[in-house]
Amino acid sequence: MKPRSRRRLSTVTAGCVAGILAAGVIGPVRPAAAAVAPGTVACPAGLAAKATCYAGQDSHGAHYSVAIPHTWNGTLVMHAHGGPDLGEESDPQRSGDDLERWSVMVDEGYAWAGSAYRRGGYGTRMAAADTENLRRLFTKRFGRPDTTLIHGQSWGGNVAARTIEMYGGAGSPYDGALLTNGVLAGGSRGYDYRVDLRVVYQYYCRNHPRPSEPSYPLWMGLREDSAMTGGGLRARLQECTGYASHPADRTPLQRRNLDDILAVTKIPERALESHLSFATFTFRDIIRRLGLRSPFGNQHVRYSGSHDDAALNAGVERFSADASARRDLSYDSDPTGAVSVPVLTMHAIDDPTAFVEHEAAYRDSLEGAHRARHLVQTFTQEGEHSGLSAAEYATAVSALSGWVRTGRKPTPSSVASSCLAFDAEYGTGCFFRPDHRPASYASRVNPRPGATHWPAMTSAQERRWSRLGNVGIAP
């Protein structure tokens, strides 16, 4: 598919987004910085002949990148990146790297803009605010697009889902959302399987922390003053499970430990290290931003699948969530389902990081808000999290754009059938499975009996709460 003819840019004025940070998982608002207006920079090699690229930094300190095709089709794709990264400062390379990674959008004629966010670390509403701020900066500098879409992958899918809720409603600046391999169960439920991994791992391995090291509650992920690195964590994981060794080279105890950990948590072996890293370092970041309160609990979870479930359930560390912390994390990151624009999701069935059952949780959110009519979910027979077929991304954004322009809602089958034309150009394959339906979230992730589920807020409530400064307090 080739872009439409070049459009004329008209400059309009837009205000900057309010300087709010992530609800409940935040520190104090940083003083405004001197913004760096977008200046031209070299495009990624694959886009050098196709687009003009820009980079800058907004008044909150967030670095950003923009690309406008020489033949722009009039639609802007705002990108929400995943992670979260854990560096405290905004990474000036992040948005440029994202542009190169998602260059298929520019290849298809869409303008693209992505923020690196004002800082690393957790904060879904913060990331949504920075994305909206960049959208306004784009409009002020380059003109109002005919259509504005938002795309988010992984945690960025959560960010994008919250963005269209926070800035939705009548007169929404976003016309549609593409969520790919998204963490769509939200923070209050979306990391429960990593909570389980953290405690199950420690039950079997006893080395995180070791008996000789200061103890701490495992919901912290890692104690505040620990100097552990990723390499140190990998060494402990290898010591306990031999995960990096050929199976024949593992000791009998390593094989048994690994078998039990994987069976109980249902985490794929190839993703075990990354999940444990998240349950260590990202958990520590989340807990810091919640003022050392725990939103996580496993008090009544029944673990199963091990060689000795009775011993596991008797010996695993137990704790309950702090209700206020869970509320604040929910307000920050849980999709409410209160969407008013078309939403197309695409998810790998064998995604080892954000399990496909996240899609069932997201559908439940929209059905609970009586907004399921705005949702089309598609699935691909792929086993990757960080990137899917370029032909599929081109297909998905085209299907969403067509839905927005014409009002004709696509189906999983129509999306799948349209992929072949894009694959003729990209040659990366089409793996859509139109008949797939994911099982419930609870079928993959142990539910938390008695856990509070906070009621969804309307877009008007979201805006009112932010204006009052009540970031992190649900009504």
| pLDDT for the residue 453 | 52
Of 150, 88, 140, 90, give the one whose Cα is nearest residue 116. Answer: 90
Flag whether 72 is in a domain: yes
Answer positive or negative: Cα dihedral of 109, 42, 181, 474.
Answer: negative
Average pLDDT of span 184-198:
95
- State yes or no: pLDDT of 11 exceeds 50: no
> Quick one: pLDDT band at residue 328, thresholds 50, 70, 90?
very high
- State yes or no: pLDDT of 471 exceeds 50: no
28 Cβ neighbours under 8 A, 6+ residues apart: none
Of 241, 245, 270, 243, give the one whose Cα is nearest residue 256. Answer: 241
In this structure, the strands spanning 111-115 and 75-80 are parallel
> 279 and 369: one domain?
no
**Residue where a domain stops, chosen among 270, 304, 323:** 323
| pLDDT for the residue 24 | 35
> Quick one: pLDDT band at residue 455, thresholds 50, 70, 90?
very low
Among 15-19, 35-39, 59-63, 204-208, the range of highest mean pLDDT? 204-208
**153-163 pLDDT, tens per residue?**
999 999 999 99
> 313 and 208: one domain?
yes
**410-435 pLDDT, tens per residue?**
999 999 999 999 999 999 999 999 99
> 374 and 303: one domain?
no
> 172 and 198: one domain?
no
- State yes or no: pLDDT of 469 exceeds 80: no
> 69 and 166: one domain?
yes
> 270 and 176: one domain?
no
Overall domain count for the chain: 2
**Which one is predicted more confidently, 222 or 472?**
222
- Structure tokens given for 108: 């298809």
> Quick one: pLDDT band at residue 88, thresholds 50, 70, 90?
confident
Residue with tokens 């999290």: 385
**Residue where a domain stops, chosen among 293, 323, 353:** 323
> 288 and 417: one domain?
no
Instruction: Quote the mean pLDDT of the chain.
Output: 89
- In this structure, are residues 433 and 380 in contact, taking their beta carbons and an 8 Å threshold? yes
| pLDDT for the residue 168 | 84
* Gyration radius (Cα) of the chain, Å: 22
252 Cβ neighbours under 8 A, 6+ residues apart: none
Flag whether 384 is in a domain: yes
What percent of the chain stands above pLDDT 90?
Answer: 84
> 281 and 232: one domain?
yes
**Which one is predicted more confidently, 461 or 363?**
363
| pLDDT for the residue 451 | 58
Secondary structure (3-state) at 347: strand
> 281 and 314: one domain?
yes
Flag whether 24 is in a domain: no
Range of the domain at 448: 36-184+330-467
Flag whether 94 is in a domain: yes
**Which one is predicted more confidently, 35 or 126?**
126
| pLDDT for the residue 7 | 35
**Which one is predicted more confidently, 24 or 44?**
44
What percent of the chain stands above pLDDT 70?
Answer: 87
Least confident piece of the model among 108-117, 167-176, 210-219, 313-322: 167-176
**Helix H or strand E encompassing 344:** strand 343-348
| pLDDT for the residue 452 | 53
- In this structure, are residues 331 and 473 in contact, taking their beta carbons and an 8 Å threshold? yes
Flag whether 54 is in a domain: yes
> 131 and 203: one domain?
no
- Output helix, strand, coil percentages for the chain, rounded to the nearest 5: 40, 10, 45
> Quick one: pLDDT band at residue 354, thresholds 50, 70, 90?
very high
User: Distance between CA 282 and CA 23 in Å, rounded?
Assistant: 17
> 314 and 236: one domain?
yes
- State yes or no: pLDDT of 17 exceeds 50: no
Average pLDDT of span 309-338:
96
**Which one is predicted more confidently, 466 or 266?**
266
Residue with tokens 């995180």: 208
> Quick one: pLDDT band at residue 169, thresholds 50, 70, 90?
confident
| pLDDT for the residue 8 | 31
**Residue where a domain stops, chosen among 260, 292, 323:** 323
Torsion of CA 4, 10, 16, 17, to 10 degrees: -30
CB atoms within 10 A of CB 362: 28
Flag whether 215 is in a domain: yes
- To the nearest 10 degrees (0 to 180), the angle between helices 252-265 and 230-241 is 110
**Helix H or strand E encompassing 264:** helix 252-265
**361-370 pLDDT, tens per residue?**
999 999 999 9
Give phi and psi for 372, each to the nearest 5: -60, -20
| pLDDT for the residue 87 | 86
- State yes or no: pLDDT of 439 exceeds 90: yes
Average pLDDT of span 89-116:
95
Flag whether 150 is in a domain: yes
| pLDDT for the residue 38 | 83
> 353 and 386: one domain?
yes
Flag whether 309 is in a domain: yes
CATH, residue 122: 3.40.50.1820
